[in-house]
Amino acid sequence: AQSVTQLGSHVSVSEGALVLLRCNYSSSVPPYLFWYVQYPNQGLQLLLKYTTGATLVKGINGFEAEFKKSETSFHLTKPSAHMSDAAEYFCAVSGPFGNEKLTFGTGTRLTIIP
Amino acid sequence: GAVVSQHPSWVICKSGTSVKIECRSLDFQATTMFWYRQFPKQSLMLMATSNEGSKATYEQGVEKDKFLINHASLTLSTLTVTSAHPEDSSFYICSATQRVRGPGANVLTFGAGSRLTVL
């Protein structure tokens, strides 16, 4: 069984400040981990993914995440927030083949303060 | 890149009627499609997994007769909400992927979602 916990349903940061969205996972098999972004009334867009290999993963729009097995975490960061980053962010986990169904976290709504 | 088209994006219907939502993979063959339901300000809940040419696998608690899923071709899956009621109002999102042998993260491509409002 797999599960994802996103700490903080709402996060607010000032424009230009560091963005940190937290994600912890539980998995009985080596996990594949994903971060998705959702804008209002739209589907999900993949930001980045971790499969194997390098634990620091870089994604689109300046986001990156680090897989820490010892902490079972996959936190999402961005050095400098932009107004366009305001959206809902979902962390997700799947099994080692990656094409299996995703288990999503409850999401974190990111608000950018001008 | 891979594109998944979902139609309609918005639909309003009267209680008791049926509504069909289409999910198409435009530039790849989707051996597997997933249907999710998202309540306001909540996460995505997987409803069912459909593989081309076979019956869909529904998650626990999802009514098979209520939410009919058909995956007749490698590029099209449909979700039909039968005898819709106001509590079926929600945002429905499909995703599609190609199945390959062996490990490797196939990225799910998501449709833009369909918002259903049942009056």
Q: Please write the tens of the pLDDT for every residue from A16-72.
A: 999 999 999 998 878 889 999 998 878 889 999 998 888 999 999 999 999 999 999
Between A102 and A14, the more confident residue is A14
- Give the pLDDT confidence score for residue A23 in this predicted structure: 97
Of A36, A51, A101, the CB nearest to B46: A101
- Give the pLDDT confidence score for residue B99 in this predicted structure: 58
Confirm or reject contact between A62 and chain B (CB < 8 A): no
Q: B99 and A99: CB-CB below 8 Å?
A: yes
Closest among B60, B75, B69, B66 to B28, alpha carbons compared: B75
pLDDT higher than 90, residue A91 = yes
What does pLDDT average to over chain A?
91
CA atoms of A49 and A46, how far apart (whole Å): 8
Structural tokens at position B56: 């869909």
Burial of A41 per CB tally in 10 Å (0-12, 13-18, 19+): exposed
- Give the pLDDT confidence score for residue B19 in this predicted structure: 97
- Give the pLDDT confidence score for residue B27 in this predicted structure: 85
pLDDT higher than 70, residue A100 = no
**Min Cα separation B97/chain A (Å):** 7
- Cβ distance A98 to B104 under 8 Å? yes
pLDDT band at A96; cut points 50, 70, 90:
low
Confirm or reject contact between A99 and chain B (CB < 8 A): yes
Q: A51 and B110: CB-CB below 8 Å?
A: no
Contacts of B113 in chain A (CB under 8 A): 41-43
User: How many beta-carbon pairs below 8 A join chains A and B?
Assistant: 67
Low-confidence ranges of chain B (pLDDT < 50): none
